[in-house]
């Protein structure tokens, strides 16, 4: 029997022999905190990780997918040799200057990697299904279950398996367990990321410290002549969460949003001929409130004023 088989040949049901393969994503799609942390640890530029990268996919048979990383299911782990090399790369990225980090995609660029299938239950039977061959069956304790090969990247595979593998007692060597612990212990969101990394997504002219090292300066913006007033890009205050950047925030989020946001331009309307101002006043008076008690003299004065306004010639005015 071959020492390794493609992961796509493994199944938990004999009915899967003619079924098409299914894709399983290994990395969270929308967890921004995890994305920033992993980009730094794995040697990527900020905002560059792609959760749908082709190396973050497992291609498995339909019967394998419902059981993946669930209680009673299974998971994949890299070999001890691969895991030790992964931990060494991440340790380099943590200790080296931001600009000297190494990308996990370039340092681990093999088209396929070897993995160990770890059953998370003793109630599963695995089958190796290949066209034209008799299916092979593997039951607990799975001592003869071969290793598998997959194009999925070992960093993505380990990230997906970390939560499952910690809760099960498996027969793995102590060096593997130690390397696994050192590698995955850093894969949790935190604010402990170097400022050089957080600032690397935008030009230095957009973020510089003042001489007092307390307030950011707006680079490339000029004030009006003879004025201390700073020119600030208009913002839509009705949109929550978009505020001018400062040292404690991800400036790139605001810069990218502001650059892509279409600022509404107010255009003055053309001048028009207004109605007679006297008529405006007349309508205002007629529509105004009435006192409950009015003197006879006041009533006469009011009637006289209305008569004068109604008889005056109309006048036009440009506003």
User: Pick from 108, 79, 78: which is nearest to 92 by CA?
Assistant: 108
And the tokens for 29? 């799609």
Asked if 57 and 153 touch (Cβ cutoff 8 Å), the reply is no
Where b means 16+ CB within 10 Å and e means fewer, 43-76 reads bbebeebebeeebbbbbbbebbeebbbeeebbbb
Residue that wins the pLDDT comparison between 308 and 250: 308
> Does 235 score more than 70 pLDDT?
no
- Please state, in angstroms and rounded to a whole number, the distance separating the CA atoms of residues 314 and 319: 16
Compute the mean pLDDT over every residue in the chain, rounded to the nearest whole number: 74
In a domain, 63, yes or no: yes
Residue that wins the pLDDT comparison between 190 and 122: 122
Please tell me the pTM assigned to this model: 0.62
In a domain, 203, yes or no: no
Length of the chain equals 319
Looking from the CA of 4 toward its CB, the CA atoms found within 13 Å total: 11
Residue numbers of the domain that contains 108: 4-184
pLDDT band at 145 (very low <50, low <70, confident <90, very high): very high
In a domain, 281, yes or no: no
> Does 223 score more than 50 pLDDT?
no
pLDDT of residue 216: 44
4-8: which pairs have CB atoms within 8 A and are 24 or more residues apart? 4/114, 4/146, 4/147, 4/148, 4/149, 5/128, 5/146, 5/147, 5/148, 5/149, 6/148, 6/149, 6/150, 7/58, 7/59, 7/60, 7/76, 7/115, 7/148, 7/149, 7/150, 8/59, 8/60, 8/61
pLDDT band at 68 (very low <50, low <70, confident <90, very high): low
Phi, psi of 211 (to 5 degrees): -60, -30
In a domain, 276, yes or no: no
Asked if 125 and 217 touch (Cβ cutoff 8 Å), the reply is no
User: In the predicted model, what is the mean pLDDT of residues 183-190?
Assistant: 84
In a domain, 24, yes or no: yes
Give the model confidence (pLDDT) of 88-111 as tens digits: 999 999 999 999 999 999 999 999
And the tokens for 282? 């007349």
In a domain, 195, yes or no: no
What's the N-to-C CA distance of the chain in angstroms?
Answer: 93
User: In the predicted model, what is the mean pLDDT of residues 252-266?
Assistant: 52
- Segment of 153-157, 162-166, 245-249, 251-255 carrying the highest mean pLDDT: 153-157
Asked if 122 and 135 touch (Cβ cutoff 8 Å), the reply is no
In a domain, 208, yes or no: no
Give the model confidence (pLDDT) of 2-39 as tens digits: 589 999 999 988 888 877 888 889 999 888 889 999 99
pLDDT of residue 41: 96
> 278: buried, middle or exposed (CB in 10 Å: 19+, 13-18, 0-12)?
middle
And the tokens for 55? 């190396």
Phi, psi of 184 (to 5 degrees): -85, -15
> Does 141 score more than 80 pLDDT?
yes
Counted domains in the chain:
1
């Amino acid at each position: 029997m071959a020492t390794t088989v493609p992961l796509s040949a493994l199944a938990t049901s004999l009915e899967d022999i003619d079924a098409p393969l299914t894709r399983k994503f290994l990395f969270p799609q929308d967890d921004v905190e995890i994305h920033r942390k992993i980009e730094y640890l794995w040697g990527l530029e900020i905002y560059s990780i792609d959760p749908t990268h082709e190396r973050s996919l497992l291609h498995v048979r339909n019967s394998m997918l419902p059981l993946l990383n669930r209680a009673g299911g299974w998971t994949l782990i890299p070999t001890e040799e691969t895991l030790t090399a992964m931990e060494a790369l991440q340790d380099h990225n943590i200790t080296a200057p931001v600009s000297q980090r190494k990308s996990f995609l370039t340092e681990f660029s093999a088209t396929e990697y070897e993995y160990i299938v770890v059953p998370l239950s003793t109630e599963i039977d695995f089958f190796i299904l290949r066209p034209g061959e008799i299916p092979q069956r593997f039951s607990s304790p799975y001592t003869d279950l071969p290793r598998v090969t997959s194009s999925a990247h070992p960093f993505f595979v380990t990230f997906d398996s970390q939560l499952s593998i910690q809760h099960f007692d498996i027969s793995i060597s102590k060096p593997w367990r130690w390397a696994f612990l050192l590698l995955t212990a850093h894969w949790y969101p935190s604010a402990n990321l170097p400022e050089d990394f957080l600032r690397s997504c935008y030009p230095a002219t957009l973020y510089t410290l003042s001489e007092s090292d307390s307030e950011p300066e707006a680079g490339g913006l000029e004030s009006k002549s003879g004025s201390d007033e700073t020119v600030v890009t208009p913002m839509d205050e009705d949109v929550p969460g978009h505020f001018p950047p400062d040292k404690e925030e991800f400036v790139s989020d605001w810069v990218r949003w502001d650059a892509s946001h279409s600022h509404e331009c107010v255009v003055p309307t053309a001048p028009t001929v207004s109605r007679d101002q006297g008529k405006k006043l007349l309508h205002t008076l007629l529509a105004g409130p009435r006192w409950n008690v009015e003197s006879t003299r006041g009533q006469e004065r009011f009637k006289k004023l209305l008569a004068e306004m109604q008889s005056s010639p109309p006048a036009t005015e440009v506003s």
